[in-house]
Every structure is written in C-alpha cells, then in structure tokens.
Copies of this chain bind each other. A is one copy, B any other.
Amino acid sequence: MLGLRSAFWQELQEDLKQVEGELEKALADIPHCLFREAALYLHQSGGKRVRPALAVISARCCAYPVERVLPLAVALELFHMATLVHDDIIDASILRRGRATVWVKWGKRFSLCLGNYLFSYAMSFLSHYEDKRINRILVYTSARIAQGELEQLARAFDITVTQQDYFRYILFKTALLLASSCQLGALVAGASEEVSRLFYRYGRDLGLAFQITDDVLDMVADGRQLGKPIGTDVRQGVITLPAIYALNHSSERDRLAFLLSKRDKGEEEIKETLDLIRKSGGIEYALAVAEGYLEKACRAAQALPPTPAKELLLEMAYRVKQRQK
C-alpha cells in the first residue's frame, strides 16, 4: 500500500515541479523590483506548497491534466503568500522558517502593500477559468480569513474563549483555504457540486487537523526545528486548544487563568504557562482531536470515486499525522 502511495507521490512531485516553474515565472513577472525581490525572498524561504498540491491532487482525482490546473495552483500559492506577509505584521512575528520575516527586512508599510499586491496578483490568475464559482469561492475565503484574524485578535488574552470559538477561528484562518484548494481543484476539473463537497470536507478537516497540530507544535517543538521561537501564541495571548483544555482541567486553573490573561509576560512566566498546559494533558487532548479530524478527512476521501490520485489524499493526511511525532 505504501509502495503504491509512493509511486503516485513520485508522480505528484513531477506535477509540483511544473507548479514550481509556473510560480517562478509568475514571480519573475512582478513589475516592481522591490515587490519581486521580497516575493522571491519569501518564496525561497521554502514552504511545502500544500495548497497547490491539494489543488493538483484534487484535479487529478477528476482526471484533469495538470497543465490546466496550473493557474489555480499559482493563484493559491500567491494568495497564501499574501496572507503570510500580512499575518507576520499582525502577529509581529520576526522569524518565519528560520529567516527574518518580510516586514523585518522591508518594513511594515512595504509589507502591507506587498500583501495587497500579491492578493490582487493571485486573483488575476483566476481569469483563466470561465467558471464564475472559482473566483467567488476564493473571494469568500479571503473575506473569512480576514474575519478569522480579526476575531482571534479581538479575543487576545481572553480566557473565556471556548472550543467552539477556537474551531471557528481556525476554520476561517486556515482550514477554509485548504478546503477551497481541494474544492477548486475539483471544480476546475469539472467535478459535480456533490463530489466537490467531498473535496471541500476533506480539505477542511485536514486543515483543522493541520492547524491544531501547528498550535500544539508551538507549545512542544524544538524552537530551532520550528524555525521560530516556541510559545508565540501564549506570548501573544492567542488561546489555542491545549490552553482551553487546560483551563478546564488543570489542577492549577486559577494560576493558569492568571498567566494566560496576563499581557507582557516574562520568559519565566511563559515557561510556567507552557508547563501547566503540558501537565494538564492539553497536548494529548489536542492531538487526539486533530486525529479525529484526520480520520474525518480520510472518510471524506474514501467516499470519492476510486482513482489512483485518491491515495494521495490519504497520504497527505498521513503526513499531517507524522508532523505530530
């Protein structure tokens, strides 16, 4: 089974090389040298091109040639880059994948313009498709991403955030774009509304698992491996799933509530907060929830018509699971 998966995985790498080529062409075409330079810098920092990969696999599940899904794949990655540039301003992040963020190198005002530019540039690639839903879905997703950012921002240091709130934030901020990547890949390939809903659900649940895992890693990973310091969420008052669990289950709830709601925590306090969350079992709980979403994602994928590419969707879920280790 894994051998079979690997064969398709190899084929996907070939497709993704084409995406990479198109993406590089798109970046080289950016008219202003500073925009181009900064966009290439961000691009060369790495990244797994998850969104283009999901679009390509989904289109492949519908027997669509990779060439025709390329503009969508480029649009999705440019769009994702736009959100990264803006997110790093909003979160005041100084490192991404181990390198200085764009605003640290070029300034915040510049980064605001660059994000706007990349967003518009991304949208321009959608004009390759006749189907008006393509554009509509990405515009909708974009509005929800901004809303999710705001909602989480508005609740910073607020320990009354519930699990339900949290799932809504990460759905808007992260999972919807992964859902859209799958759904759009299927739609450009001519999938029916019904089938495209399965892709949507797969991408959404994968995205939820992905973000929960990301939030866990921010509490347990090795900072150097992560490419950024750990404890960022705790520092910035973003209340994620392990913290919500710990607030309800820790034996030192009051102390934890005090720490999580405190602004400008010292390094010792951040360490203490992370320790309390870890001791409460919040990490294991969050990972179990993430695994539940991965299983849901796989069930959606299993319901798809049988194609070789479908195995890749399962493989993607498997890789998200591996990140947890």
Contact = CB atoms under 8 A, between A and B. Distances in A.
Interface of A: 31-32, 34-35, 86, 89-90, 108-110, 112-117, 119-121, 123-124, 127, 130, 132, 135-136, 139-140, 142-143, 145-147, 149-151, 153-154
27 contacts: A31-B147, A32-B150, A32-B151, A34-B150, A86-B112, A89-B112, A90-B112, A90-B113, A110-B150, A110-B153, A112-B112, A113-B146, A113-B153, A114-B146, A117-B146, A117-B147, A119-B119, A120-B142, A120-B143, A123-B123, A123-B135, A123-B142, A124-B136, A124-B139, A127-B135, A130-B132, A132-B132
Contacts of A32: 147, 150-151
CB-based closest 4 A-B pairs: A120-B143, A117-B146, A120-B142, A116-B146
A99 to B, nearest CB: 21
B120 A35 contact: no
Q: Which of A89, A114, A116 has the most CB of B within 10 A?
A: A116
A86 B136 CA distance: 23
Contacts of A127: 132, 135-136, 139
User: Binding site of A, secondary structure by majority: helix, strand, loop or mixed?
Assistant: helix
A78 to B, nearest CB: 11
Contacts of A120: 139-140, 142-143, 146
Contacts of A154: 34, 110
Contacts of A112: 86, 89-90, 112
A150 B86 contact: no
Nearest to A34: B154
A119 B154 CA distance: 20
Contacts of A143: 117, 120-121, 124
A115 B140 CA distance: 15
A122 B168 CA distance: 23
A116 B143 CA distance: 7
Contacts of A123: 123, 135, 139, 142
Contacts of A150: 32, 34-35, 110, 113-114, 117
A127 B140 CA distance: 11
Contacts of A115: 116
A120 B130 CA distance: 20
Given A34-B150, A108-B108, 5 more contacts: A113-B153, A114-B150, A115-B116, A120-B143, A135-B135
Contacts of A31: 147
A213 to B, nearest CB: 24
A113 B116 CA distance: 11
